[in-house]
Amino acid sequence: MKISSLNNNYLKLRTNFKYQKYTDNNESYSNINLTNLGLIPAYGIFSINFKSKQKDSEQFELNYSYKELQKRLAPDVFTEFRMLDENSSAYQNLQEGDKEALKHLVKAANIFDSVYKRLDNIHNLPFEKYLDKEVKKGNERAALTKKLYDAQKGIIAKTVDAKPVELLKNMKELPGKGFYPEDLSEKEFHKILIDMLNNGEQQEVQNILNQRSVVLREGKKLKAIDYTDYFKEEFVHAADELMAAAMTSTNDDFNRYLVLQANALIMNNPYMDALADKQWATLQDTPLEFTIGRECYDDKMTPSVRKNKELSVLLDKYGITPYAKDSLGVRVGIVNKEGTDYILKIKDFLPFMASKMPFNNEYEQTISNKTYNKQTMVDADIVNMTGQYAAYRGAISIASNLPNNDKLSVQTGGGKRNVYHRQMRMAKYSNNKEQLLNALLEKSQHKYFDVDAMQDFTILHENVHSLGPKDGLEALGNSKNTIEEHKADAGALVMLDELTKAGFYSALKEKQVITSYLVGYVLKGPDFENAHRARNILQHNYFIQHGAIDVSKDGKMKIHYDKVIDCAHKMLENAVRLQLEKSPEKAEKYLKDNVIWSKELQKLADNLNSVDKKMNSYITTPLADSLVKQS
């Protein structure tokens, strides 16, 4: 379908919204009927229901004293991640049409901040309004609290050493976040689903257990509301901005994606997301970057259904796969050609890497000799990050490989795309490199630490996400994400060695990547709930227990490089086998046996904390802010 045709269909959709508002039980509803639209006839006619509930009258009590807030916001504790500014050559060299498009992309991205906050915690936005009012009154304690709130995009977060940051008294993080009613326990959740399945409500249960629905109570049952309905107002406004960007952007492929993504935002139909995702995954030679990232690391409630044997049997009986719900983050950037050219050097080796995956005759991979061209890769100078991408909660993403395997586009043959965040990684070791090495690594191995080698590890990690089993991973329940991240890390080291043998990397580069990875991923404290941190604990502990790393009495590592590779092979085999066996019990046991905060890890953490005081960070977006002011 041509861009002009897509544009006409969007306009038809956009102008055919009809609203009928009424109230019931102090909650507002809207009915929207979209009929005879002719966008894609096979998808039929859509009926959309929207429901929302606000709690602006809540009473709040700040959790931290003024003195404690000052401590948490000290410059060496609360550090900046600065995105692109308007004087950068990346922006100045854009064509005028792309500069104009960038304004609309930034405005679209900003809309998703409120969406993410509502998915994270239903109290976030009312609390934000409360803080804003208090700041206007001159409440200095509220002003300092607002700085932390803005940095972490919510009431609850974690520090770098995994300690909780709770800005509001008497509020703890819930497994269901804002996806589910806050008073819904795991036990009640399972019981309601069992009752609904036994009552013939299989379709509604499937709607509840998908990636893109907010779940509300409906009497003694639960009701799923699609994101496009629940966030109708925000999504329509964002779609309008994407359409405006498509009118001036200079790249036809990128424009087609923007139009498809705009259509997906205003239609309650996962196939529209799939169409947009498939087009996005093909983008390689575009000046601009825009992503609505949908990742499922935050929802712990949905995957919990696999803990309940009776419920799990019923779900399998009716062919219902539970998918953890997506948090939303948006990235706006300018593609960096030099960085992209470096990243693309590995592309021709992807089929070779796929052939080196363990047990590769037992599953279908996204990458093969026939389909390797379905992987695109770009390095991006970041203009704006919003939503989940901008929420600093102990760490922040330096790259992504999307869409994830649970997405319809991948399940129906679409490709994947890696995007690397230049500003994020450049800020990671902006200063105390020498102090870091003195604290963590034996002196003779300091020469092998190289900041740029961290990018090589990240490239390998992201590409390994495209290798290995791609189907049935949801069966691992709450262990799924940790096992997948574990696979990507172990696989990165295995492929590093295989590519070194093949002549792609030098022996020196191999040592640099191993050293930089092991030093760079030392944690400042234990965190067993976060998939990325749990996998770091697992791997460092595994290396120590199997003699690949020695930790001295004073808490410094000595790396045995050959043993690191041997351990990586074993860990990769373990991860892939768990994904193939699809047993949540075995996956949970593997993690329980290996994700252990040992005395050696504590020594390393103590040394790291002695030279690095950072506990939180915040993002600044000077170019994005300037573009919004110009609009």
CA 104 to chain centre: 23
234-263: pLDDT as tens digits: 999 999 999 999 999 999 999 999 999 999
The predicted-structure confidence for 289-314, as pLDDT tens digits, reads as follows 999 999 999 999 999 999 999 999 99
Tell me whether strands 399-402 and 416-421 are parallel, antiparallel or unpaired.
antiparallel
Q: How far apart are CA 574 and CA 92, in angstroms?
A: 49
8 A C-beta contact, residue 374 and residue 485: no
Per-residue b or e along 313-331, where b marks 16 or more CB atoms closer than 10 Å to that residue's CB: ebbeeeebebbbbbbbbbb
Q: Which two tokens stand for residue 369?
A: 């000799």
The answer to whether the beta carbons of residues 389 and 117 sit under 8 Å apart is no
Instruction: Give the gyration radius of the chain's Cα atoms.
Output: 24
Residue (of 335, 329, 330, 341) closest to 381 by Cα position? 335
Determine contact, residues 438/552, Cβ cutoff 8 Å. Answer: no
pLDDT in tens, 125-159: 999 999 999 999 999 999 999 999 999 999 999 99
> Quick check: helix, strand or coil at residue 394?
coil
Q: Which domains does the chain have, with CATH numbers?
A: 1-57+75-121+174-428 (3.30.540.30), 431-616 (no CATH)
Strands 78-82 and 616-620: parallel
Span 3-47, pLDDT tens digits: 666 666 666 656 554 333 323 333 332 322 322 323 332 223 233
Which residues lie across from 380 on neighbouring strands? 335, 421
What does the pLDDT average to over 326-342? Answer: 97
> Residue 308 and residue 317: Cα distance in Å, rounded?
14
Do residues 553 and 594 make contact, with C-beta atoms less than 8 angstroms apart? no
Rounded to the nearest 5°, which phi and psi values hold at 215?
Answer: -110, 130
pTM for this model (two decimals): 0.88
Q: Is the pLDDT of residue 232 over 50?
A: yes
Locate 330 and state its tokens. Answer: 């948006």
